[in-house]
Chain A
């Protein structure tokens, strides 16, 4: 059944703001922490001590494990987190990584004023992989309007110095972006130009915090000055070709197309975020401090209360309910799916709480309507319409796949489609690559004419598309760089074709990767351009640390090359179903799964994997007889994942890596289940590339038996389809067992879950005609 959620539900919380220092070295007069209604900072410890950090990390890890959260984001915040000093910061990061990373992918971030950024800090953040966002309000005049030291001095030069550090090649990947608070007295174009000049990978433009009790400043006679200010920026940004993402505009774009906002400022996405203060108290989102004293308080502490207890609080729960959690006036508004009522804190009114539109209601509406009118928000239909009836697919394919009767021909059709999509992505990436970086593309197009089979094998590597999607996201932004990985793809194809070419290639930390083949590691960890000269049976790599020579006889897949000035690590293949599949523990783009990818495995662990995969195939053949042949035909790679320390099973499908599954080491029967489960996701993902089975409905959530939290439609569709295969496998295993046995219980459990979820999907109103047909076939298949 569709649900809007209810208080009492333990919602999964994936984002945590850790107030590691409660003081700041600036005295910005617009700061919501110190200058607004809530003054609770005065009674807090200055610093979050190690005991509190540890307790917080354990609560987060406990919650992540209970809810099987695949990703957790922790934002170090303040005050000013850099006031901790590098040593204390290291202690905090160590505790967080040690406690949380084993159970969930930990996304560490920090929001800073940037004043104290140093090489020591940046080295530390590089070591612990911490993304750093910096607050900057524009040029010096704009920034000095509020962001000053207590003595009134400008902070602008120090902040720019910090940003310059983050822009160095060694630290560039740490730079998350810039956060700018809008001020009507600042010229919007001057602010935009100043921020663009520092080339942030992302820009956030935030409205100054205000409520109905303390309304936004508006010059006399101007009804929507904030909309006007933002529209001016949007106009210049659009004219410039959108050289960097601006989250507010991107969110409005996404919601206009029926997608998610990805932001708590607009749209109807759930706000699964809580704050931990320096004393270990749990708080709601800290922007509430602008509403009234104590507005963010929960009365709960990390020392005494779990995250589940926090997430059950009605004030947290209501933030997860999308449209249902908005005021009646908002629910009736024509732009509500884009606006979403604005930031929760901005809805506050004395005596009326938060059940109101935003204090910026007029501005938000004007912004959304004007962007639509000027074409600034493009609907999704700019692309060619996608099949919603399934009529463009080969006869019977949708029905067979839906019923769990996917055959090898169906998988081959999907694989060909995926290959074509990868080719399209390469064309777009190459088109956006500066001419100086196109030697790889020139070689690849030549090889595609002269040795198409070699190119085809290379492009079928699942993680070529993963890289291409990343590269596409960078295209057209100031942050884009010539993507030389295209040369690595070309080099791999050239090796397969035994061609003679010379390519400019990237060497990263002393490693040159050739997708689908392996990697050359040189003795020095050099990062930078190298020149790769390929001839049949011989390569020469000239790099910053010297020259590396690789020679081999015949087929590289079947020989061990001789390497001078380095070593060769070949891609591994393991037996599976009478053939071999790629066991990918090397490619740098494989680490895109929900769980962290394991590093290169030692020989004994590899041998265990070989045994497990060989046995897992036998289990699949026995327990999934109708689809075993399709799985053997389609599965291209297994990526080993880092084990769960508690021994919980782990598996994952990466959206862009067709027919590759991530799995943590387990026994053969469990591995068989995980592979079958993930392969279902992969097949359905490929179908969704070709055919719409549902219409995007960001606010819609459905309850399912296998998870506590309501899920979006695609998640339920994916889960239901994966469980169709698991139900079948348990049915086969149960057929030889007595009533009441574990396999019989499991079969009944999965069958019930899957059937109930299919009913929810059929009732939810979001399925297309093809989706309705797909789910009906699926449901029918549950009763063989």
Chain B
């Protein structure tokens, strides 16, 4: 498993692709998912953005 934090996203994904699911370290998975979701939720076609100041 690649541990160097400077490895590219492409390399990290390649490793995730090759490694058996049960052997993927959670920290590496979390890092990838947070990176992928880093600023995408509010983008065009993204999830709801409730601007009104109430929970409704």
A interface residues with partner B (beta carbon < 8 Å): 15, 17, 71, 73, 75-77, 107, 109-112, 131-134, 176-179, 200, 202-204, 206, 247, 254, 257-260, 262-265, 269-273, 287, 343, 380, 382-384, 386-387, 392-394, 416-417, 419-421, 423-428, 431, 444-446, 448-449, 455, 469, 472, 594, 652-655, 681, 688-691, 696, 698, 711-712, 714-715, 718-719
Contacts and interface: CB of A to CB of B under 8 A. Distances in A.
Contacts of A75: 52, 54, 56
Contacts of B36: 421, 424, 689
6 contacts: A17-B52, A263-B51, A380-B38, A383-B35, A424-B33, A655-B47
A264 B49 CA distance: 11
B21 A423 contact: yes
Nearest to B50: A262
A690 B10 contact: yes
Contacts of A712: 43-44
Contacts of A383: 31, 34-35, 38
A445 B21 contact: yes
Contact of B56 (A131, A258, A427, A690): A131
Contacts of A472: 33, 37
B21 A690 contact: no
Interface of B: 5, 8-14, 16-17, 20-22, 24, 26, 28-56
B43 A714 contact: yes
A688 B12 contact: no
A158 B20 CA distance: 52
B56 A711 contact: no
Contacts of A653: 45
A426 B8 CA distance: 21
* Ranked 9 nearest A-B pairs via Cβ: A445-B22, A133-B56, A177-B55, A133-B55, A392-B8, A715-B44, A427-B29, A420-B13, A111-B56
A448 B56 contact: no
A319 to B, nearest CB: 10
A386 B24 CA distance: 21
Nearest to B8: A392
Given A384-B35, A425-B33, A690 B9 contact: yes
A428 B21 CA distance: 11
Given A420-B14, A421-B33, A718-B45, A202 B55 contact: yes
A405 to B, nearest CB: 20
A137 to B, nearest CB: 13
Given A132-B56, A254-B42, A681-B45, 13 more contacts: A75-B52, A107-B48, A134-B55, A269-B51, A272-B51, A384-B12, A427-B26, A446-B22, A448-B22, A689-B9, A690-B13, A715-B44, A718-B45
Contacts of A423: 16-17, 21, 24, 29
Contact of B8 (A202, A387, A446, A718): A387
A653 B40 CA distance: 14
Contacts of A132: 56
Contacts of B11: 392
Given A384-B31, A387-B8, A424-B24, A652 B45 contact: yes
A420 B45 contact: no
A416 B56 CA distance: 39
B32 A424 contact: yes
Contacts of B43: 655, 712, 714-715, 718
Contacts of A177: 55
A265 B56 contact: no
Contacts of A594: 45
A388 B53 CA distance: 35
B50 to A, nearest CB: 6
B39 A257 contact: yes
Contact of A179 (B14, B42, B55): B55
Nearest to B44: A715
A779 to B, nearest CB: 20
Nearest to A678: B45
Contact of A424 (B8, B28, B38): B28
Contacts of B54: 75, 111, 133, 179, 204
B10 A417 contact: yes
B29 A386 contact: no
A419 B5 CA distance: 21
Contacts of B24: 423-424, 427
Contacts of A206: 53
A774 to B, nearest CB: 16
A202 B46 CA distance: 19
A417 to B, nearest CB: 5
Contact of B21 (A134, A200, A259, A426): A426
B45 A654 contact: yes
Nearest to B9: A690
A251 to B, nearest CB: 10
Contacts of B14: 416, 420
A619 to B, nearest CB: 24
B56 A71 contact: no
Contacts of A384: 5, 9, 12, 31, 35
Given A469-B37, A714-B44, A449 B53 contact: no
A429 B42 CA distance: 22
A444 B30 contact: no
Contacts of A258: 39
B21 A696 contact: no
Contact of A387 (B9, B20, B56): B9
Given A111-B56, A269-B49, A387-B8, A711 B22 contact: no
B7 to A, nearest CB: 8
B56 A425 contact: no
Name the residue in A269, A270, A392 with the highest tally of chain B Cβ atoms < 10 Å from its Cβ: A392
B39 A696 contact: yes
Contacts of A719: 44
A394 B10 CA distance: 9
B13 to A, nearest CB: 4
Given A259-B39, A393-B10, A431 B26 contact: yes
Given A393-B10, A718-B45, A424 B16 contact: yes
Contact of B55 (A204, A271, A431, A652): A204
A635 B2 CA distance: 31
Contacts of A271: 51
A258 to B, nearest CB: 7
Given A132-B56, A393-B10, A449 B22 contact: yes
B55 A265 contact: no
Given A132-B56, A176-B56, A714-B44, A420 B16 contact: yes
A688 B44 CA distance: 13
B9 A392 contact: yes
Contacts of A203: 55
A159 B53 CA distance: 20
A444 B52 contact: no
A165 B37 CA distance: 34
B33 A204 contact: no
Contact of A421 (B13, B21, B22, B42): B13
Contacts of B44: 711-712, 714-715, 718-719
